[in-house]
Amino acid sequence: MRVCRILPKLLLLLIGVVGSQGCSSVAAWERGNLAKKEMALDPNPNLSHIRDHIFTSREASQGGRANSGGGCGCN
Amino acid sequence: MDALILEVVVAVIKLGKNRTLAALTTAALSLPGLDAGAAVPVANAQGNVAYGNYQESGNRMNVQIYHVDGIVSLTDRIELAFSYDRDTYTGASPAYSMPATMANQSYDTTGLSSSYYQNQVDAHLPTSADVISSASTVSTQTLMGTYPSSTSGLPNFQSYWNGLEALYQTNPGHYDALYFDPVAGTFDTNTMVQSKEFVMAGINNALNSVVPTGTQTIQRFQTQPLETRTQPTFGAKYYFDNSTLGLSGGQSDEPDYVSTFGAINFSHEFNEKKTTVSAGYNVANNAIYRNEGMSMAPPGVGLGMVMPPDCTGGKCMPTSHLNTSSMFNGMNLGLTQVLAKNTLFNASAGYTNQSGFLSNPYKAVYIRGEVTPEEYYQLYESTQGGPKADWSSITKLDMLGLDLFRENRPKERNQFNLSTGVNQYIPALDASLHFDYRFYHDDWKVNSHTFEFKWFQPLPFGITATPNVRYYSQSQADFFAPYFLAQRADNHYSSDYRLSAFGSLNGGLTLSKKLGKGITLEAGYDYYMHASDLKLGDGGSGSYADFNYYMAHAGINVDLSAPASLFGGGDSNSHEHHHHHTHFGSLPPAGVMFGHMMHQSNDVMIGYMYMNSQQGGNMLHGGQTVSDALLAQGASIPIDPGSIPAGGFPTTQQIAGLNDACPGYGAAGINKFTDFGCLVKPTSMVMGMHMFDIMYAPTDWLNLMVMPQLVDMKMSMSGDLRTPMGQNQSMDWMNSSTVNEVMSPTDANSMYAGMNHNVFDLGDTIAMTLIKLFDNPNHHLHVGIGGSAPTGSVSEVHYQVASVPVPGGINPNTGLPGSSMMGPFYPVNIKVLQDIGMQAGSGTWDFKPSLTYNGQIEDAFWGAQYSSVNRFQDHNKSGYALGDTYQATTWAGYSMFNWVSATVRGVYTQQNKVRGDLYQIQASQILDGTNTDQTGHDTVSPVNYPQNTGGHYWDVGLGVRMMAPNGAFAGHTVSFEWLQPVKDVVNGYQLERTGSFAVNWSYMF
């Protein structure tokens, strides 16, 4: 899939854009947007839990940020 | 498993961070109080309920996913969390893969003189089958010989005989040595003992010449009986000023895998709370079993059972039971950094060590050369009276069939992962974008890359749309191959597609809508494609294993820290008013449904009710206890002479009992059971119902109610009810020619003995309207008009049968087998359903009227209710309808304090018999091939017969109700009621009731 080969480059580009914003000081009263539910690391832990259990039982990789499990998932 | 702990730990981090940000916002809003406290526990309590339906393409696995969780604060420092997961899964999954040329090989139909076998082939068998097969019990006998008893034996295949033919053609001088039958002009295995040269030629030809290198791969599947995984998890967190300590633990329990796990995590905020670091450790201990054996899998279901090499069919027990374990230890480090006012960055690293049994107990591998033709010949010789083969010198692997073995993975695995992600808020769109990447590596040589993108877009009307895309690519484990044409030095093999080289693409959309402040509804759909071609770069493992799945999900979130505004527009004054007006203490007992109304328009109540009813102890016939002997009547136990009254004749009761409990179906056929009586009886039955209700009062005289349900049932069967009549009468154990209910004549038990049945599924959904008929301060009368929709399944499968043995010879008059000889296997798709009492729903649209009276004077109250359940249809899609039910009940109670009351109650219930029955297996249509796709049910126990349903029941109940009149828990009510059976008069033969209870929690807004 050609699209898939482009993805890593897109990610690098994104990290570059983010990085360019630097670690400028963000005062507490400027953090309203960061406090939105949608900006949480995982805004929907229940759904992630269900999805990740499926991923770990269908793929070899385990662990990391996006992961969940429980049980064998052998089938 | 470690994955779960990591998830828990990660969730701890996530929650902690979320809370930090919330606290920071609070601080920002209360300027200049920037030193406000950091992360704090939830204000009151939160809960989630979620459901998912996972379905793989091609009728593979289906999983029903149920999840509930809650979080509550004990103090301003301590928070407790629990979650409960339950998955029910069934379907088929890949068992092994093999060279395509080994599939669908021709059966030998020409080289033999056995007219018996010839007829079987013509009449019943497909003309071809896999040379590699695990369809039946495997022993040396089925591997190599006693032709023509098994499809697994090499001599059944044309290619084997082609090898002999070739040898014969090139060595005509060996004519005599090969025992070729000159009269028939054919090879006759019934009479001859073949020479080694002869047999080796056949083996070599069958195994070698048909598997050229580079042959395409073909997959074979095994079916999975309905199983359930249950996972409770508990967690606690303590909040310091700038740090959070979290502990969690739980257990995941399924019949073949029990995992106990725990985790500890610590996080710390600094740098003006712009930076959070965390560290965690987790551990899991897994007990691993394999479901097999006679109590679980009839012949032909799933993988075969491996017998000891010197075992011939029926003389020994399977040795494949597995009881082993594995241990996972993991640690992780995390960093979260505020980069800018709209940008959040995170990174984490993890390491996990896994050790112990890491193979998949159900997967098999095809390995050419693990057993050489010479060794196959040794096995052949041992079946012909030769020396016993030394099995351990032949292979260290578990052998399942010809060239087929259980997979074997290394005993240790070290896993590493690095993750990073950015959350970016876009003010112009009010949208939040999440980009995440993970790199994974392990010492099985699997490397993977995961890219994930989510877009959270708020829309008008409180709706949030979240599209997501995920791409994943992995390389294969170094001991993976679709099939193996040579031995590996390290003896490690797997053909599990999860260790292959592939990529996957997953896309989905989730929509959520807020209802007021307190409730959020959510629903979504994911589609996932697994494909070899999707792998990054080249080198996918082949498209034979490609599959797709979808996952539909829905959930509801309730935040109890937003009281009085659940559906928006709440008025706190009217809310206060409820608690003065409504006499919570005078409500009916917990077990009375639809027993009270809300009397204020716009009132809303949510509730949860759990009802549990149990049966156990004696079997009843009418109101009398019956003995096991009577239930088994007709099998091998005549009426005990000692129990026959003087005069020499059995009592009417004894005669009436003959064959009555398990009468079978029809005068003949595979469903006829009159020769046997009951093989087993139920020893316990527990039925639990989880009911969630939402009640709403649009006006003061009308209440509307919706009540979805989950049912959770468990039934255990007794041991074999029959007793052998004597040492030499083993035939009494055995089926006659009609029913194959034992594995072999020497089995000590029926395969049904000791069986456990479990069902956990969605039940029917009730919708109800309550209408006030009369109301003054002391007397209330209301009618309930409503019913239930058949959302519960009436085709809960007990097990599936993928093939049945064709008995030797069919009687043309009866269409039944005439010989006890077990023939080859015939492919079928038979679903054997659970009995009617274990089905999750009624399958019919049901009418549920009720009339309720409530009275009260000061602290005393009383009431009465008449209700019924009437079925709108005379049969459901499985062929039956439950009987109508009529119930009358009356109660009296007293409010001892303003927070607690007690009740006493009497109940009479009439439950009619089931009408119709579950569909039957049409055995003759299986044997003649006209209908091999059927649904049936067992016939071995009283619970399998509709005449053994319903009856008249009397109960007495004691109940208690508690409510908080004011304070933080105002509006919450908890009640409990125990119902003690006083008398049962049952139809037919049934297990007596031992009691039931109801627990009810409700919250009024």
Assess whether pLDDT exceeds 60 at residue B508: yes
DSSP state of B446: -
Which of the four pLDDT bands, split at 50, 70 and 90, describes residue B803? Answer: low
Chain B interface mutation, best of A10, A62, A68, highest count of B Cβ atoms under 10 Å:
A62
- Residue of B2, B5, B10 to mutate, testing the A interface (most A Cβ within 10 Å of its Cβ): B10
> Which chain A residue has its CA at the smallest distance from B68's CA?
A46
A31 has a chain B CB within 8 A of its CB: yes
Q: Using an 8 Å CB-CB cutoff, list chain B residues near A22.
A: 339-340
Distance CA(B618)–CA(B644), nearest Å, equals: 21
> Is the separation of the CB atoms in B290 and B320 below 8 Å?
yes
Of A1, A35, A64, the CB nearest to B24: A35
- CA gap B785, B487 in Å, rounded: 71
pLDDT above 50 (res B16): no
Among partner residues B3, B346, B522, which is closest to A41 by beta-carbon distance? B346
Backbone angles phi, psi at A16, to 5 degrees: -60, -45
Question: B242-254 pLDDT, tens per residue?
Answer: 999 999 999 998 8
Contacts of B336 in chain A (CB under 8 A): 41
By the 8 A CB rule, do A70 and B282 touch?
Answer: no
Q: Do B6 and A63 touch (CB under 8 A)?
A: yes
User: What is the distance between the terminal CA atoms of chain A, rounded to a whole angstrom?
Assistant: 28
Cβ(B611)–Cβ(B689) below 8 Å: yes
pLDDT band at B53 (very low <50, low <70, confident <90, very high): very high
Number of A–B residue contacts, CB under 8 Å: 261
User: What pLDDT is attached to residue B866?
Assistant: 95
Q: Does B343 touch chain A (CB under 8 A)?
A: yes
Residue B848 has pLDDT above 80, yes or no: yes
What number is the average pLDDT over the span B730-751? 35
Q: Provide ipTM, 2 decimals.
A: 0.75
Is pLDDT at B884 greater than 50 in this prediction?
yes
pLDDT score, position B122: 40
Min distance A66 CA to chain B CA atoms (Å) = 8
From A18, A28, A72, residue closest to B24, measured CB to CB: A28
**Which residue is listed with tokens 């009940």?**
B889
**Closest by Cβ to A34, choosing from B344, B421, B471:** B344
Burial of B698-725, coded b for 16+ CB within 10 Å and e otherwise, reads: eeeebbebebbbbbbbbbbbbbbbbeee
Residues of chain A in contact with residue B425, where contact means CB-CB under 8 angstroms, are 33-34, 36, 38-39
Domain-embedded: residue B590: yes
| B43 domain-assigned | no
**Residue B46: its pLDDT value, please?**
85
- Residue B406 included in any domain: no
pLDDT tens per residue across span B244-282: 999 999 999 887 788 999 999 999 999 888 899 999 999
Within an 8 Å CB–CB cutoff, is residue A13 touching chain B? no
Mean pLDDT of B899-905: 92
- Across the interface, of A26, A32, A45, the residue whose CB is closest to B25 is A32
Of the candidates B252, B344, B498, the beta carbon closest to that of A59 is on B498
State yes or no: pLDDT of B593 exceeds 60: yes
CA gap B291, B871 in Å, rounded: 39
Distance from CA of B258 to the nearest CA of A (A): 7
Residue B438, chain A, CB below 8 Å: the answer is yes
The band of B729, judged by pLDDT with boundaries at 50, 70 and 90, is very low
Residues of chain A contacting B256 with CB distance shorter than 8 Å:
72, 74
How far apart CA B827 and CA B136 sit, in angstroms, is: 12
Mean pLDDT (chain B) is 75
Give first-to-last CA distance, chain B, whole Å. 41
More confident residue, B93 or B771: B771
Tokens 């779960």 sit on residue: B4
Enumerate residues 6+ apart whose C-beta is below 8 A from B347.
B334, B335, B418, B419, B420, B421
What pLDDT score was predicted for residue B938? 79
Instruction: List pLDDT tens digits, range B940-963.
Output: 788 988 889 999 999 999 999 998
Name the percent of chain B lying above pLDDT 70: 65
Nearest residue in chain A measured CA to CA from B537: A5
Number of helices (H), then strands (E), in chain A: 2, 0
Which 519-538 residues of chain B touch chain A by CB within 8 A? 522, 524, 526, 528, 530, 533-534, 536-537
Region of poorest pLDDT, from B578-582, B842-846, B989-993: B578-582
Band (pLDDT 50/70/90 cuts) for residue B149 is very low
Rounded distance, CA B308 to CA B28, Å? 73
**Winning range, highest mean pLDDT, from B75-79, B420-424, B658-662:** B420-424
pLDDT band per the 50, 70, 90 thresholds, residue B538: confident
Structural domain includes residue B801: yes
pLDDT of residue B606: 87
Question: Does residue A23 belong to the interface with chain B, where contact is any CB pair within 8 Å?
Answer: yes
pLDDT in tens, B173-228: 444 444 444 444 455 444 444 566 666 777 776 666 555 566 788 787 766 667 78
pLDDT confidence of residue B858: 87
Residue B273 touches partner A, C-beta closer than 8 Å:
yes
Of A21, A43, A66, the CB nearest to B438: A66
Do the Cβ atoms of B419 and A65 come within 8 Å?
Answer: yes
pLDDT (0 to 100) of residue B642: 55
Rounded to whole angstroms, what are the CA distances from B570 to A31, B562, B576, B601?
30, 10, 11, 12
Q: Does residue B895 form part of some domain?
A: yes
Amino acid at B833: L
Greater confidence (B741 vs B95) lies with: B95
Beta strands in B74-138, from DSSP E residues, in sequence order: 78-99, 105-106, 128-129
Q: State both tokens at B558.
A: 């309730």
Radius of gyration of chain B (CA): 33
For residues B908 and B887, the answer to whether their CB atoms sit within 8 Å is: yes
How would residue B564 be classed by pLDDT, with cut points 50, 70 and 90?
Answer: very low
Tell me the DSSP string of B221-237: EEEEEEEEEEEEEEEEE
Which helix (H) or strand (E) is A54 found in, with range? helix A45-58
Cβ of residue B509 closer than 8 Å to a chain A Cβ: no
Q: Note whether B1 contacts A69, CB cutoff 8 Å.
A: yes
Reported confidence tier of residue B382, pLDDT bands at 50, 70, 90:
low
Per-residue pLDDT of B409-455, as tens digits, reads: 999 999 999 999 999 999 999 999 999 999 999 999 999 999 999 99
Residues above pLDDT 90, as percent of chain B: 37
Residue B246 contacts A where some CB pair is shorter than 8 Å = no
- B662 pLDDT band, cuts 50/70/90, is confident
CA–CA distance, B553 with B64 (Å, rounded to integer): 10
Instruction: Give the domain range for residue B972.
Output: 572-1004
Other CB atoms within a 10 A radius of the CB of residue B8 amount to 29
Would you state the pLDDT for residue B92?
74
Q: What DSSP designation does B178 have? A: T
Give chain A's radius of gyration (CA, Å): 17
Longest dimension (CA), chain B: 112
What pLDDT score does B892 carry? 94
**Is residue B336 domain-resident?**
no
From residue B760, alpha-carbon distances to B54, B180, B227, B551, B681 in Å are 16, 60, 9, 19, 22
For position A13, what pLDDT does the model report?
A: 52
Q: What tokens does B826 get?
A: 């015939």
Q: Is A32 on the interface with B (CB under 8 A)?
A: yes
Asked if the Cβ–Cβ distance from A71 to B257 is below 8 Å, we say yes
The answer to whether the CB atoms of A54 and B54 lie below 8 A apart is yes
Beta bridge partners of B106: B128
In-domain check, residue B73 = no
Average pLDDT estimate for B391-412: 80
- B498 and A71: CB-CB below 8 Å? no
B883: in domain: yes
Contact B341 A71 (CB under 8 A): no
Given A11, A41, A75, which is nearest B435 (Cβ)?
A: A11
Do the Cβ atoms of A38 and B464 come within 8 Å? yes
Q: Which of B21, B50, B451 sits opposite A11 (nearest CB)?
A: B451
Query: Distance from B193 to chain A by nearest Cα, in Å?
Result: 44
Whether A40 and chain B come into contact, CB under 8 Å, resolves to yes
- Give the pLDDT confidence of B323-344 residue by residue, as tens digits: 788 999 999 999 999 999 899 9
B939 pLDDT band, cuts 50/70/90, is confident
Cβ density class B312-328: b for 16+ within 10 Å, e for less: ebeeeebebebeeebeb
Mean pLDDT computed over B59-78 = 86
Rounded to an integer, what distance in angstroms lies between the CA atom of residue B776 and that of residue B321?
Answer: 68
Give contacts of A56 with chain B, Cβ < 8 Å. 3
Measure CB to CB from residue A66 to each of B274, B436, B551 and give the nearest one: B436
Cβ of B419 under 8 Å from any chain A Cβ?
A: yes
Identify which of B89, B332, B474 has the shortest CB distance to residue A60. B474
The CATH number of the domain holding residue B917 is: 2.40.160.40
How many domains are there within chain B?
1
The verdict on a CB contact (< 8 Å) between B415 and A42 is no
Q: Which residues of A touch B418 (CB under 8 A)?
A: 64
> Using CA atoms, how far apart are residues B873 and B881, in angstroms rounded to an integer?
7
Which residues in chain A come in under a pLDDT of 70?
1-24, 64-75
